[in-house]
């Protein structure tokens, strides 16, 4: 018996493929989504780096506390303001920090009304979706000598000539002005495309459909015992 002959396999595989296609297209629309009713953007490379440096457990692992949920919801918010910027006068810098604090309170101030376990689950699912098409890690056993961010930026910049970021007249990055501000799902699709252009026979992992194939293969093998 082939996998395709196992009842339910074709239907589940087709549903996963449709879901993959829709989520990958959505990554290029630059539209916000919601987590527990809170509006958030698709995670960009810049936001991922910021959360990683802050050791947010949704990115780095570890115990999740209420403040971690508030932190990631604020950083992913389309209304997020970077509290620190270069080249501002002391008065403008203070005003910016004050505005960032007020806006953060407005967005995540009602977090106590959100069920903790529900928020934790929805954020975990969101992060999984953002990283679903991520390429595999370093399997060579060597110690990395550069940031993985540098590798991503170089890989895409070399292929497309895109800048790392574009700085506006206010000294701040222009939204979607460079690789750092592209949604992660879009970045990973560009990487896949570049890999296939360089090597059309390269093996590309599809975590969702591959997991379905593994599940039905295990089911089939158990039935042979």
Q: With 60 as the cut, is the pLDDT of residue 199 above it?
A: yes
Q: What does pLDDT average to over the chain? A: 80
pLDDT single digits (tens) 81-100: 776 665 666 776 777 777 77
Q: Cα separation of 1 and 5, whole Å?
A: 6
Q: With 80 as the cut, is the pLDDT of residue 76 above it?
A: yes
pLDDT single digits (tens) 127-166: 998 888 887 655 555 555 557 788 888 888 888 887 887 7
pTM over 0.85: no
pLDDT value at residue 168: 66
Give Rg (Cα) of the chain. Answer: 21
């Amino acid at each position: 018996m082939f996998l395709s002959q196992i009842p339910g396999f074709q239907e589940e595989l087709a549903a996963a493929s449709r879901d993959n296609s829709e989520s990958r297209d959505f990554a290029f629309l630059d539209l916000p989504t919601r987590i527990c009713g809170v509006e958030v953007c698709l995670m960009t490379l810049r936001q991922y780096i910021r959360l990683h440096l802050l050791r947010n457990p949704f990115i780095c692992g570890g115990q999740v506390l209420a403040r971690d949920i508030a932190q990631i919801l604020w950083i992913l918010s389309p209304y997020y303001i970077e509290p620190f910027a270069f080249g501002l006068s002391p008065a403008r810098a203070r005003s910016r920090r004050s505005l960032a604090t007020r806006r953060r309170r407005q967005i995540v101030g009602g977090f106590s009304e959100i069920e903790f376990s529900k928020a934790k689950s929805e954020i975990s699912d969101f992060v999984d979706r953002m990283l679903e098409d991520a390429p595999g890690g370093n399997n060579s056993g060597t110690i990395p000598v550069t940031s993985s961010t540098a590798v991503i930026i170089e890989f895409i910049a070399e292929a497309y000539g895109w800048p790392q970021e574009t700085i506006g007249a206010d000294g701040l990055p222009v939204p979607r002005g460079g690789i750092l501000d592209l949604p992660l799902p879009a970045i990973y699709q560009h990487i896949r495309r570049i890999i296939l252009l360089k090597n059309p026979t390269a093996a590309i992992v599809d975590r969702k459909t591959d997991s379905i194939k593994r599940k039905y293969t295990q089911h089939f093998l158990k039935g042979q015992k």
